[in-house]
Chain A
Amino acid sequence: MASKLNMVSAINSALGSEMERDRRIVILGEDVGREGGVFRVTDGLQARFGAVRVVDTPLAESAIMGVSLGLAAAGMIPVPEIQFEGFLHLALDQISNQIGRLRTRSRGRWGLSMVLRVPWGGGIHAPELHSESPETLLVHAPGLIVVTPSNPYDAKGLLISALRLGEPVVFCEPKRIYRAVKAEVPEGDYTVPIGRAAVAAEGKDLTIVAWGAMVREALKAAEELETEGFSVEVVDLRTLSPMDSATVVESVRKTGRLVVAHEAPRTLGLGAELAARVAEEALTSLLAPIERVTGFDTVMPLAQLEEHYLPGHRRIMAGARKALAA
């Protein structure tokens, strides 16, 4: 059985079915229980599993992550939520210095099973610090797995994989596509592999790499470039760390041209790492300089200028045309 679900419902469905299966899973965070989360992602779960397993915590991001480390080290599977990515920074010591490093620091004695869920990125006209894409901070921290889905099917399958992985996973949820599309999502459980990119569209003239909400923009750009006579391949990275650059390199060997598109600022955005890896492994296959279509190295603006900051399909097309002209 499958039904048409948006990403919010797909994530809710994954949490519900895994909580049925595994009593070690507990959800904790601000407003996740009675309110069902500010985006309603955990809606109904407290009624279903009780206030002991779906816990409204005091307002303290560092505490939410710090106690999650303790819960996980003692054998629970915490699913903490940080309400918006802008508030991750309050918990960076716990996430990066503590959670990411415990396996190493205990010489393998404690790996942590947990999934930190956090809404990600711009495009919903939200207030300040509710629209950023700080994935570089997480990918730069050794020991963390970082995942971001681009559609409801992957959201459920990746989250189930994350809950069973036995690693600390940060699950970045692109909030602007939370409810934007519905897709067929199986009612039962299934997994989508972590650490593997997906080819979202096949092509032979140019590769566009994107993740999260930017995959839709990349696919739209590919479709329009098709009408201009170009065949474009779109790679959805899906897991940001560890990064599946092999799939990207393989695609570039075929197309010879690469555009990387992301919302995060350009400098040290993941586009930089992808460009470096492609240069290391497939430099001789490149027919044009690599193009990065990204957010700017500025503060993410408030709603009125937001659409200028976010690279939409038109900017991706401009980058693609430049690569195709070379």
Chain B
Amino acid sequence: MAKGMYFERFDPTKGESLQILDPEGRLNEDLRPDLPGQRILELYERMSVMRLADQTALNLQREGRMGTYAPFYGQEASQASAAFLGPSDWLVPTYRETGALFLRGVPLQSLLRYWMGDERGMRVPEGMRVLPIQIVIGSQTLHAVGLAWAMMLQGEKSAAVAYFGDGASSQGDVHEAMNFAGVLKTPVVFVCQNNQFAISMPRSGQTAAATIAQRASSYGFPGLLIDGNDLLAVAGAMNEALAAARSGGGPRLIEMLTYRIGPHTTSDDPSKYRTAAEVDVQKPFDPLLRLRRYLGAKGLWNDGAEAAILAKARAEISAAVAAAEAMPPAPVSDMFDYTYRVLPPYLERQKSEYASFLKDEASRGGRHGF
């Protein structure tokens, strides 16, 4: 398919959406993005590791080895959108982007550390353009606009990708971010993973509009609704949006329609607000299943290959879990040391007074070290 055609051809205000690989694994050749079979297989493998890592994190939480965790089961194709960023593009994640961050190259053990309640896991490797995981719903979309604006000012041909969800689309900050982006024509790609639930609230309760993608037109830039469980649609949409942003074409909004199969977080009990039958309806649309069907038909995948992929994934994840758990706990001083460039005297005093308290406690049989 010719470059630059998805956003023009599929208009969300007319109820149109992009799907390239259907749930049966049938490819629409007419819409095929520039993505070789080997690359699809490679991404399928990373998505398999991602899914297993997500399940592992959930199990670690259940076993009391990790804190609250927000799973992304079912959203692997949308998370794989991160694979299409170049090294100089910025990735601005929410707390559900574990899969995207993993693909970006944030070590799995760091991500696990973060969810184990250790902020050292929030530090991304040097040179990597990724902001820390955002907890507040929607705030980060504005940060992405600022990053993109800076790249414009600095003459860089890169883009910033802002992740958010259907729930966040109700926040004022998200409206403000899109409006600023439209006015300033910043190179930003808004990626809305519409997983159809904000904790208990279904998408229909967030907005009376038919789609989130259609909002783009009211901010003066193109929007596209895609099947967020279709890796090829994700690839096509991301490549086109990023190319447009990097070459001065301004912002883009992609709504990736997917489904949160799991709970909001490990603290959530979805049986309070949806039935198991509702979830079962979504299972045939699994993003990995259709890739297996497609790759299988092409002779690039079979049960033997799957076993090898999973064995490799298990080894990779076990190593990350072991490394995360082997890391000694953060020293108490870690709590103070990043507050300012230089600790003000009163905070230095709070730190030393607390160190003396712990020493005194230890002499009374207490258990903490500084």
Contacts and interface: CB of A to CB of B under 8 A. Distances in A.
Contacts of A87: 136-137
A283 interface: no
Nearest to A125: B67
Interface stretch (B165-173, B215-223, B225-233, B240-248): B165-173
Given A34-B200, A34-B273, A127-B135, A59 B116 contact: no
A298 to B, nearest CB: 5
B68 A127 contact: yes
Contact of A298 (B168, B265, B336, B361): B336
Contacts of A303: 67, 116-117
B319 interface: no
Contacts, number: 114
B354 A129 contact: no
A311 to B, nearest CB: 10
Interface string A55-93: 010111011000000000000000000000011011000
A59 B117 contact: no
Contact of A59 (B118, B137, B338): B137
A266 B347 CA distance: 10
B199 A30 contact: yes
Interface string B330-346: 10101110110000001
Interface string B246-269: 000000000000000000010110
B95 interface: yes
Contact of A60 (B119, B171, B346): B171
Interface in A110-128: 125-128
Interface string A30-43: 11001110100000
A56 B199 CA distance: 11
A306 B205 CA distance: 36
A35 B272 contact: yes
A145 B136 CA distance: 26
A266 B346 CA distance: 10
B211 interface: no
A48 interface: no
B334 A305 contact: yes
A301 B333 CA distance: 11
Nearest to B170: A58
> Max chain A CB contacts within 10 Å: which of B68, B168, B346?
B68
A35 B197 CA distance: 12
A298 B335 contact: yes
Interface in A289-315: 296-299, 301-306, 308-309, 314-315
Contact of B267 (A36, A38, A63, A301): A38
Main secondary structure of the interface of B (DSSP, over half): loop
A129 B117 contact: no
A63 B170 CA distance: 9
B295 interface: no
A267 interface: yes
Contacts of B136: 86-87, 89-90, 129
A296 B347 CA distance: 8
A31 B200 contact: yes
Nearest to A83: B199
Interface in B344-370: 346-347, 350-351, 354, 357, 360-361, 366, 368
B339 A299 contact: yes
Nearest to B137: A59
B119 A298 contact: no
A89 B136 CA distance: 10
Contact of B272 (A34, A266, A301, A306): A34
Nearest to B174: A60
Interface residues of A, number: 39
Contacts of A31: 199-201
B342 to A, nearest CB: 14
Contacts of B43: none
A318 interface: yes
B199 A38 contact: yes
B284 to A, nearest CB: 26
Contact of B346 (A62, A297, A302, A315): A297
Contacts of A30: 198-199, 201
B369 to A, nearest CB: 10
Interface string A203-230: 0000000000000000000000000000
Nearest to B132: A128
B304 interface: no
A59 B198 CA distance: 8
A314 B361 CA distance: 8
Contact of B335 (A126, A129, A266, A309): A309
A41 B97 CA distance: 29
A128 B170 contact: no
Contacts of A128: 135
Contact of A304 (B117, B201, B366): B117
B207 interface: yes
Contact of B135 (A129, A296, A304): A129
B329 interface: yes
Nearest to A309: B335
5 contacts: A34-B273, A58-B201, A58-B205, A59-B171, A297-B347
Interface of A: 30-31, 34-36, 38, 56, 58-60, 62-63, 86-87, 89-90, 125-130, 266-267, 296-299, 301-306, 308-309, 314-315, 318
Q: Which 9 A-B pairs have the closest CB atoms?
A: A303-B117, A35-B200, A58-B170, A59-B167, A304-B117, A302-B117, A60-B170, A59-B170, A31-B200
Given A31-B200, A314-B361, A315-B357, 20 more contacts: A31-B199, A35-B199, A35-B272, A38-B268, A60-B170, A87-B136, A87-B137, A125-B68, A127-B95, A128-B135, A296-B336, A298-B335, A298-B336, A302-B114, A302-B117, A304-B117, A304-B329, A308-B335, A308-B354, A308-B368
